Chains A and B, each alone.
Chain A
Amino acid sequence: MTLEVRVHRRLGEFEIDVDFRAGPGITALFGRSGCGKTSIVNMIAGLLKPDRGRISVDGRALYDSNLGLDIPVHRRRVACVFQDARLFPNLTVRKNLLYGLRLAPRKARFTSFDHVVELLGIAALLDRRPGALSGGEKQRVAIGRALLTSPGILLMDEPLASLDAQRKAEIVPYIERLRRDFGLSMVYVSHAIEEVLRLADTVVMLQEGKVSAVGPLEETLGRIELYPVMGRKEAGSALATIVIAHDDTDALTTLRFDGGTLQIPRVNLPTGTHLRIHVRARDVALAVQRPDGISIRNILPGRVTEMADSAGAYVEVKVAIGGSSLVSRITRQAARELTVAIGHDVYLLIKSIAIDTNSLGILPPADYLPRITATARETIPGARSGEGEELLDVPLH
């Protein structure tokens, strides 16, 4: 699946001018509130008309100002999950789910009512009305309703934004399942980096109506010049890892990545699970010698490849460790006193408890989107990935 979006649209003083392509999997439109994410999604859906440009899915144009083409919303086969669910309040959950199913051409259907109901765990809700559902339940039904139209592409506009942390944690595994079970392409709009980290394969970073970066998640998040866009607090690296061991006595889990191993608090996942972790730059300390007698469990040797000086007190230092890289944020003063420079060998120190278990992204089997090197996989005898139900059983707090 390829989604091509090249649109221009003026909204009062604000101007959206974007041009990007997205491949299969989940593409995150990421940016702060008011950067035009929702408008772009509305233009893909056909709810907002661009001034000019072209939008196509797999080469099929949905909109093309040069050709005077503007396929009406209901014939685009682009389903939406909105932040506010938008279930029909007068219909039961069952009828909400069936609404789009009946309208989908028979040939195009790739899933069945029963399958979706089971997948989203909404069998018990079928005869209720939306007014009697919790926020998380509504959103699951909304996902089901969109899915049953068998769309060519699924747009999700901040589907978790109005939910509390617990409800979010309840929904995320279902979104991961959609990617795994249907190989469905999704555009996921979010201003929350932890959601993007957990779910996205490709990131389109937006700033004031313009694209500031597009690319695979790990690569894009590794671009330290973009950190101001991401927000200083949450900015950090995404690391593709694989679960290799659990230590029950100390309640720790060991992850391997291309370049070393990391210890994090115990997660309830089978060994062999492909996991993406978020390492915030502010949680990574830097040393020029291997420190002794220190509580920090993860000490990783690497080499400085990039440094970005920002206006504040900080410097972002990108360090290559094997085939991966991590970013550390240190004060400018520290960088000067330690004489950190590109090409120097340094040690990165990461507290185990600093790894945000909320943003652990369970990746599909490696053959779906190869991102872990062969060496990493070979070190784990008999490791298999993408095991069924247990995968969803991640403790999120």
Chain B
Amino acid sequence: MGHDELQALRLSLQVAICSVLAGMPLALVVASVLARCRFPGKALVDALIHLPLVVPPVVTGYLLLLLLGRHGIVGAWLYEQFDIVFAFRWTGAVIAAMVMSFPLMVRPIRLSMENVDRRLEDAARTLGASPARVFLSVTLPLAIPGIVVAALLGFARSLGEFGATITFVGNIPGETRTLSSAIYTFMQTPEGDRSALHLAIVSLGISLLALVASEYCARRAQAVVHGI
């Protein structure tokens, strides 16, 4: 594989991993709130989180640009106050991937949290555990299977992100040219067919590997959660 191909691969993995790592804490918080709390406007929050699933990715990317671009509403302020720029940077690609994969991460965590036996949480409370401790020591460990699934889905979605990424952060080699963008670019260039094929095979391999690994982890987690 050539230098450009490797660079795209490395960048994609970096963006996908960062997107999962950065999105996970937020996804856990949002999922537990949705699973455990009742509040007015819950349906609206739920809908907003799921929006990236149904809105065309290019639109999401465009909205991100309006919001976080250097002249965007939040972006301008971030740039002036903290000198932080997301647009056309790899960190921006992470944000795009995170937003796109967020609904896919929240859903399985929420489902597995809803399935955690409330009676076990009650038992923990009678044993002297504060609500925060109950969450960390009972709810979270028992929701692990859902968290594993969330990590895989988030990783896969981030790895394949194209529309929002290219709209928000462009297609800059070594900075924002991820696997998908790279394959697209190679296909546009006269001698790029081989490279495009290489990258396609590589991404197929990574996806397959991630699937097998997560299946294994989910099985292990299920066994542990069910006390076998």
Q: Which residues of A contact B (CB under 8 A)?
A: 45-47, 72-80, 82, 84, 86-90, 99-100, 103-104, 129-132, 145-146, 149, 155
> Does chain A have a CB within 8 A of B197?
no
Known: A90-B225, A131-B228, A132-B228; 14 extra A-B contacts, CB below 8 A, are: A74-B126, A74-B128, A74-B130, A75-B128, A76-B126, A86-B117, A86-B123, A89-B120, A89-B226, A103-B133, A131-B226, A132-B227, A146-B127, A155-B126
Q: How many whole Å from B144's CB to the nearest CB in chain A?
A: 8
| Known interface pairs A129-B228, A130-B227, A131-B227; A80-B126 also in contact (CB < 8 Å) | yes
Return chain B residues, CB-CB under 8 Å to A46.
125-126
Return chain A residues, CB-CB under 8 Å to B228.
129, 131-132
Return chain A residues, CB-CB under 8 Å to B129.
74, 99-100, 103
Q: How many whole Å from A82's CB to the nearest CB in chain B?
A: 7
8 contacts between A and B (CB under 8 A): A47-B125, A73-B122, A75-B128, A84-B119, A86-B117, A104-B128, A129-B228, A146-B126
Asked whether B227 lies within 8 Å of A103 as measured between CB atoms, the reply is no
Asked whether B124 lies within 8 Å of A45 as measured between CB atoms, the reply is no
Asked whether B119 lies within 8 Å of A82 as measured between CB atoms, the reply is yes
Instruction: Enumerate B198-228 residues with CB–CB distance to A below 8 Å.
Output: 224-228
Size of the B side of the interface (Cβ < 8 Å), in residues, is 23
> Does chain A have a CB within 8 A of B76?
no
Asked whether B224 lies within 8 Å of A99 as measured between CB atoms, the reply is no
> Does chain A have a CB within 8 A of B58?
no
User: Bound state CA distance, A77 and B129, in angstroms?
Assistant: 11
Asked whether A73 lies within 8 Å of B126 as measured between CB atoms, the reply is yes
User: Bound state CA distance, A104 and B128, in angstroms?
Assistant: 7
**Which one, A47, A84, A87, A90, contacts B126 given CB within 8 A?**
A47
Asked whether A149 lies within 8 Å of B125 as measured between CB atoms, the reply is no
What is the chain B residue whose CB lies nearest that of A142? B123
Asked whether A90 lies within 8 Å of B122 as measured between CB atoms, the reply is no
User: Bound state CA distance, A87 and B122, in angstroms?
Assistant: 11
> Does chain A have a CB within 8 A of B192?
no
> Does chain A have a CB within 8 A of B87?
no
Asked whether A90 lies within 8 Å of B119 as measured between CB atoms, the reply is no
> Does chain A have a CB within 8 A of B138?
yes
Return chain B residues, CB-CB under 8 Å to A77.
128
> Does chain A have a CB within 8 A of B104?
no
Return chain B residues, CB-CB under 8 Å to A84.
119
Return chain B residues, CB-CB under 8 Å to A103.
127-129, 133
User: Bound state CA distance, A155 and B128, in angstroms?
Assistant: 14
Pick the most buried of B125, B129, B137, B227: most chain A CB atoms within 10 A of its CB. Answer: B227
Return chain B residues, CB-CB under 8 Å to A149.
127-128
> Does chain A have a CB within 8 A of B72?
no
Asked whether B226 lies within 8 Å of A100 as measured between CB atoms, the reply is no
Asked whether A90 lies within 8 Å of B227 as measured between CB atoms, the reply is yes
10 nearest A-B pairs in the assembled complex, by CB-CB distance: A89-B227, A131-B227, A100-B127, A103-B128, A86-B123, A73-B125, A129-B227, A80-B126, A130-B227, A131-B228
User: Bound state CA distance, A72 and B128, in angstroms?
Assistant: 10
Asked whether A78 lies within 8 Å of B127 as measured between CB atoms, the reply is no
Q: How many whole Å from B225's CB to the nearest CB in chain A?
A: 5
Return chain B residues, CB-CB under 8 Å to A155.
126
**Which one, B119, B127, B138, B226, contacts A145 given CB within 8 A?**
B127
Asked whether B142 lies within 8 Å of A90 as measured between CB atoms, the reply is yes
> Does chain A have a CB within 8 A of B141?
yes
What is the chain A residue whose CB lies nearest that of B127? A100
Asked whether B225 lies within 8 Å of A74 as measured between CB atoms, the reply is no
User: Bound state CA distance, A129 and B141, in angstroms?
Assistant: 15
User: Bound state CA distance, A352 and B125, in angstroms?
Assistant: 48
| Known interface pairs A74-B130, A131-B227, A132-B227; A90-B125 also in contact (CB < 8 Å) | no
Asked whether A86 lies within 8 Å of B119 as measured between CB atoms, the reply is yes
User: Bound state CA distance, A178 and B16, in angstroms?
Assistant: 56
Return chain A residues, CB-CB under 8 Å to B117.
86
Return chain A residues, CB-CB under 8 Å to B126.
45-47, 73-74, 76, 78-80, 146, 155
**Which one, B123, B127, B128, B224, contacts A90 given CB within 8 A?**
B224
Q: How many whole Å from A287's CB to the nearest CB in chain B?
A: 53
Asked whether B141 lies within 8 Å of A90 as measured between CB atoms, the reply is yes
Return chain B residues, CB-CB under 8 Å to A132.
227-228
Return chain B residues, CB-CB under 8 Å to A100.
127-129
Return chain A residues, CB-CB under 8 Å to B123.
80, 82, 86, 88
Asked whether B127 lies within 8 Å of A99 as measured between CB atoms, the reply is yes
User: Bound state CA distance, A130 and B123, in angstroms?
Assistant: 15
Asked whether A89 lies within 8 Å of B225 as measured between CB atoms, the reply is yes
What is the chain A residue whose CB lies nearest that of B130? A74
Return chain A residues, CB-CB under 8 Å to B125.
46-47, 72-74
User: Bound state CA distance, A132 and B120, in angstroms?
Assistant: 18
What is the chain B residue whose CB lies nearest that of A129? B227
**Which one, A72, A89, A99, contacts B124 given CB within 8 A?**
A99
Q: How many whole Å from B133's CB to the nearest CB in chain A?
A: 8
What is the chain A residue whose CB lies nearest that of B122? A47
Return chain B residues, CB-CB under 8 Å to A78.
126
Return chain B residues, CB-CB under 8 Å to A88.
120, 123-124, 138
Return chain B residues, CB-CB under 8 Å to A131.
226-228
